[in-house]
Amino acid sequence: MIGIELTPEHPVDRIAELGVAAEAAGFDTVFSSSHYNNRDPFVALDRIAQRADDIRLGPGIVNPYETHPVTLASRVASLDEAAGGRAVFGIGPGDRSTLENLGFERDRPLRRVLEAFKVAQDLFAGERVDHDGTFQATDAGLNFEPPSESIPVYIGAQGPQMIQMSAKHADGVLLNGSHPKDFAWAAEQVDAGLAERPDERGDFDFAAYASVSVATDDEAAREAARPPVAFIAAGAAPPVLDRHGIDHERAERIGERISAGDFEAAFGTVTEGMIDAFCIAGTPEKIEERIDAVMDHADSFVVGSPLGPDLDEAIRLAGSALENRRDHA
């Protein structure tokens, strides 16, 4: 997979334009991120499906707290129908600080995510479901069948148990990271999960879901990286912060400012070290070098937000960098 994340912070018609540009630049999968304060990702993905012929599409990622898992399954199946069998299901536990804004407690995240996509897979297969676990469903089913025989499920993950669960049960993992250190560590977790994966589940895709900011101006690329890095730093687990020598209290302050809606202050608290740890930022030559280092450990690559200060140019530059990598592989 050569994927890209398009954040629906822009009008959905603009996201559709960017999806078409991504397909032209060589990307084969587009994920649309899901946050309550942005536009609906499924609407944006449907617009892309109407205008792009071959690219696969999916939420990247939705969580099973804000929306009931059966309803999520129906939305993904609807997207698959609208896109002629091109849907991908990206699901994960969600951003803790954002969920707190809505009054959700992110309890038992691993179990909740596992149960949510297992139920979804049963629904995709045309089964009716009774479920009593982290959520309830009684005689739930879909009154239509998605055109895909099997919609791929990718789990958004950072922690060791979520990564291992993904490797054991899902089709792929979207590892939220940008630094080779994180992927070297994550590869060990993937291997541990694969050791318990039944053969009938088939191949597994270890995908780097990396924050990337690319521009011909190195400083502009790094400045554009501040917003996503703030969210990543705020949500990073203590071992991740320790791995990169990042001050816990500073990361906590960023999270507090994000929760309070003071985004300018949150972004201003981001350090250069955080940008280096949590984003692949710089000129095309620099990002190509960093992508190569990440791909020593991963199978696939997703170019994630912010992409760069100029979205159209960033899509073109990132596509060229990945094409160069394929040519020299």
Q: Each residue of 199-215: pLDDT tens digit?
A: 999 999 999 999 999 99
Give residue for tokens 């148990």.
161
d(CA 35, CA 49): 20
d(CA 278, CA 65): 26
DSSP three-state, residue 173: strand
Q: Supply the pLDDT for residue 95.
A: 73
Overall average pLDDT of the 117-144 stretch? 96
What DSSP letter does each residue of 106-125 carry, written as one string? --SHHHHHHHHHHHHHHHHT
Q: Supply the pLDDT for residue 226.
A: 95
Q: Are 221 and 215 in contact (CB under 8 A)?
A: yes
Does 96 score more than 70 pLDDT?
no
Alpha helices in 8-126 (DSSP H): 12-24, 41-51, 69-82, 96-101, 109-124
pTM: 0.92
Does 328 score more than 60 pLDDT?
no
Helix (H) or strand (E) holding 91: strand 89-91
Overall average pLDDT of the 11-39 stretch? 96
Q: Each residue of 160-178: pLDDT tens digit?
A: 999 999 999 999 999 989 9
Q: What number of other Cβ atoms are within 10 A of residue 210's Cβ?
A: 26
Q: Are 191 and 206 in contact (CB under 8 A)?
A: no
> Which of 23-27, 35-39, 235-239, 244-248 shows the lowest mean pLDDT across its residues?
235-239
User: What are the two backbone dihedrals, phi and then psi, of residue 235, each rounded to the nearest 5 degrees?
Assistant: -95, 0
